A = this chain, B = another copy of it.
């Protein structure tokens, strides 16, 4: 099972590494980081670089595709090389997935039209503009399309998908080995739970994203 993790300049590292860490532990998994060019690809803050091992052309038919988000997603929305690759691999993939604003790239490629999907809570409106039905759920399965909410939600997506791919027992083993028994010290991880003032502040600050 080849797992292609797409990366691009200014991606968010945890969007990619969260589901990678879970799904790369599936029996027979062959994960590969792919980008337009091989070599280091820098994340949103510029302080982390992950190595892309293969070019898009070198990974023509992965079984599973993971598309992270991050501020750099907006630069890719009209990148035909990348969108064309997404369409092409989606034609034969078993699962096409995204984390955070990665779903906007799937939507821009035309892959989510008429489907239920999710994204970072600040990007749900933008998703709707592509004819997608946005939901506030953390992980959304619609056929072979699996989308996750913001950043950290890719871990939940990874486990959910691992259960479908390798069975509940395999997913439980990975949950135990990665000790995924979360204990957030605050209860502020969604716009429903966070103080309204904080939610409004970030909506205002991110208006350029969701415009």
| A residues lining the B interface (CB < 8 Å) | 12-14, 17-18, 20-21, 24-25, 30-33, 40, 45, 47-51, 53, 100, 120-121, 138-139, 149-153, 155-156, 159-160, 163, 168-169, 171-173, 175-186, 188-191, 193-195, 198-199, 202
Contact = CB atoms under 8 A, between A and B. Distances in A.
A71 to B, nearest CB: 12
B173 A185 contact: no
B32 A20 contact: no
B177 A150 contact: yes
Contacts of A50: 48-51
17 contacts: A14-B21, A24-B45, A24-B47, A25-B45, A31-B48, A50-B50, A150-B179, A151-B177, A152-B179, A152-B182, A156-B182, A156-B183, A171-B185, A175-B189, A176-B188, A177-B202, A179-B190
